[in-house]
Chain A
């Protein structure tokens, strides 16, 4: 792709990323009364993050076995309530080290 066309593509990507973020915050300001919708919105982040993580995490390293090892370490470190950075580093190092033996 030519550079000018790629640049335009990036601007389009930026717009279609910004619009869903901005619309509710700028246009929608009323308080939601329904307990169902409130609960729904409260649960959405967990549902989104769960669906984003599994099963994609198993394909994230190019090798299923190293990815499974990394996932197990991430689960174990998160269960121990380690910080985001420690969990991410632990998973990266595990994948890298298991990758050396595969």
Chain B
């Protein structure tokens, strides 16, 4: 039985997705610049953004394409960087509309990014297909449009502005984690543990073999694991954290 889209959920999703879409433009713009300046055609830069829809993974993969790396190296590096999506998708499954069809699940799986996941998981109640579809469309457009603009403008931009764009993604991450971390001590402590672990793995020489993608995976699993042990979240706490997310 084919269910129709719920217009209210869909437009609510669109509204929630708009800030992500706007936030993606400067980041994907930087990617477009980087890709074309490295010798990739404009259409392929846009194709990468449309099919990968991720920041760290596609930045790293594109760098490897520049370096003429082999397919296994490109596949493994990109996969390792993207393992974190497994944790996010696993978390989302707990909130998804249980009656969602296989086909619809394959579509919304495409849209699991750090930001879309964060906004979706802060949303109270069951996550419907209509809401998630609306949530995903804006960021996909923002990500591909930004890439196209960056690719087209590549040659005419001063280098200093290109460098300044690099901070955009990280500034967005701060904007997502700081407000809830300010109000929830467990969240703040977990973020600090995670950053501490990632710094240890990065700066202490014996861990230098650990790739950047694996550092994120190890730090996140350890910090969230310690956090869940120290602060098992009751329903009240979950709701409190989710409400903070409404500011996004």
Contact = CB atoms under 8 A, between A and B. Distances in A.
B71 A91 contact: no
B202 to A, nearest CB: 7
Contacts of B156: none
Interface in B155-206: 160-161, 163-182, 186-187, 190-195, 197-199, 202
Contacts of A16: 75, 78-79, 82
Interface of A: 1, 3, 6-14, 16-26, 28-29, 31-32, 35-57, 60-63, 66-67, 70-71, 74-75, 77-79, 81-85, 87-93, 95-96, 99-100
A35 to B, nearest CB: 5
Interface in B203-245: 215-216, 219-221, 223-225, 227-229, 231-233, 238, 241
A11 B47 CA distance: 9
B219 A47 contact: yes
Interface range on chain B (Cβ under 8 Å from partner):
35 or more
A8 B175 CA distance: 36
Nearest to A1: B68
Contacts of B224: 40-41, 43-44, 46-47
A9 B74 contact: yes
A52 B187 contact: no
Given A10-B51, A88-B171, A47 B220 contact: yes
Contact of A49 (B71, B94, B118, B197): B118
Given A66-B163, A70-B171, 9 more contacts: A13-B61, A14-B51, A22-B105, A22-B106, A47-B219, A63-B163, A77-B175, A88-B23, A88-B168
Contacts of B1: none
Interface string B52-93: 111011100100111010010011001100111111111111
